[in-house]
A = this chain, B = another copy of it.
């Protein structure tokens, strides 16, 4: 039976297995889901075994385990390493989900007329890494596995992949491969397939501003004692100028400026500003002056407050002048910004601009390096050929605003260029309520991955 026929025959099972995986609330950021994160690792291991892996192991780390699997058919053939993550973002705010985040349902949408799976992690990244296991199973079943295959599926991607570096460094030999496949990005659309060749890095900070040693009555003290919320707002606001340019000294020092030609090419990707605004229901976009939306997301760094809290946030009114205010602030970085350096610049600056009337604390949660990957490697050309085969159209190389910090790590430590082989769409509500992943995307992904193996072997042997 051909790979395509096997996929067709096992469609329902392939889908139901993914739904089972999505039912496990493997939220790595929240310790209350600890057992579920471990359960997800177990699920991955068993899936690899069933698919035909010779090795499938749960590798302990200081945090959540990394699932390693492999099938070596012939050491003289090229080897493909698949990376993915079985942990998911927190699902809150729960009340904004139309159906419970860990009870997947399939519903049709205008963008996914054949249905999409609604669940936390459906696109990021369970639905996407699971395609590789199913493609592997299909190739095994059809007797057509053209390359050796290795899997490294981690459980801490959403909290900074803290233990992956150590694992990679300690297992360089075992992870040796000719190409790395990562499906954790999106493409432009089903009719405009694309492959991500640029990713932003990140430095994720948390700050605390303290005024007085206790909450105060805003009447008795208001106007005379620093209000840490007002101060925090002023500090945050001051970190961007009127052109939305970030004011942290040294922040842009290492930012690669693209040539006019490079920028022109970037802006040739299909993009409709009115559609973009319409989908988000915004009257206007908002960003750094002098750059297009594609550029703002692809080649420019950011500073975004991801969370803020302080004072009374319950019902009604409370006239409190709070003692503390907090914010989680992340910066997306572009080549060649170094996240350790940016985190340090942030901390120094944040402390420098704090007025004498408050105390501040700054902590770096995690970070990662930005990355650019080649669009002319054997791996890229194989991915291009595979997509052209299944989508009927040559994919466009794009730069995506998200971060997969381990891409730079893989480039440096494993010496091969990852292929960012994502099949989701940017409208799939990743990290948001009602995250979903197209059923059609799931199956075309499985097919395309199998096609990649065929082309990668062919091109490697040329």
Interface residues of A (CB under 8 A from B): 29-31, 89-90, 92-93, 96, 158-160, 186, 200, 202, 204, 206, 211-227, 229-234, 236-238, 240, 280-288, 293, 296-297, 300-322, 325-328, 330, 332, 355-359, 365-366, 400-403, 426, 429-434
The 21 listed contacts between A and B (C-beta, < 8 Å) are: A30-B314, A90-B312, A90-B314, A92-B314, A96-B215, A159-B316, A213-B281, A214-B280, A214-B432, A215-B431, A218-B306, A218-B431, A223-B301, A224-B285, A226-B282, A230-B240, A234-B237, A237-B237, A283-B356, A308-B313, A312-B328
List residues of chain B with CB within 8 A of the CB of A318: 29, 89-90, 158, 306-307, 328, 431
Known: A211-B282, A314-B92, A429-B214. A330 touches B325 (CB 8 A): no
Measured between beta carbons, the chain B residues less than 8 angstroms from A93 are 215
In the bound complex, do residue B284 and residue A355 qualify as a contact, i.e. CB atoms below 8 Å apart?
Answer: yes
Question: B297, A224: Cβ atoms under 8 Å?
Answer: yes
Across the interface, do B332 and A223 meet the contact criterion of CB distance under 8 Å?
yes
Query: Across the interface, do A304 and B431 meet the contact criterion of CB distance under 8 Å?
Result: no
A400 and B220 CA atoms in complex are apart in Å by 6
Q: With contacts A211-B286, A230-B236, A237-B237 known, what are 13 further pairs, Cβ within 8 A?
A: A29-B314, A90-B312, A214-B280, A214-B432, A220-B400, A221-B280, A223-B301, A229-B306, A229-B307, A233-B305, A234-B240, A306-B319, A320-B431
**B317 pairs with A204, CB closer than 8 A:** yes
Q: In the complex this chain forms, how many copies of it are found?
A: 2
Interchain CB contact (< 8 A) of A432 among B217, B330, B365, B401: B217
Q: Give complex CA distance A55, B429 in Å.
A: 63
Given the complex, which residues of B lie within 8 Å of A202, measured CB to CB? Answer: 219, 319
- Give Cα A231 to B308, complex, Å: 12
* Cβ-defined contact, A356 with B284, below 8 A: yes
Rounded to whole Å, the gap between the CB of A288 and the closest CB of chain B is 7
Chain B: which residue is nearest A325 at the CB level? B308
Q: Chain B: which residue is nearest A204 at the CB level?
A: B317
Inter-chain CA distance A224–B400, complex, in Å, is 12
A222/B305 contact (C-beta < 8 A), A319-B204, A429-B214 known: no
Q: Chain B's nearest CB lies how many Å from the CB of A68?
A: 25
CB atoms of B280 and A212 under 8 A apart: yes
Pick from A214, A293, A301 the residue with the most CB of B within 10 Å: A214
Residues of B within 8 A of A315 (CB): 29-31
Which residues on the B side are within 8 Å of A310 (C-beta)?
Answer: 305, 307-309
On chain B, the residues within 8 Å of A312 by CB distance are 90, 92, 306-307, 328
User: What's the Cα separation between A277 and B22 when bound, in Å?
Assistant: 54
Which listed residue, B219, B332, B426, touches A200 by the CB 8 Å rule? B219
Beta-carbon contact of A214 and B433 below 8 Å: yes
Min CB–CB distance A422 → chain B (angstroms): 11
Contact B214 A434 (CB under 8 A): yes
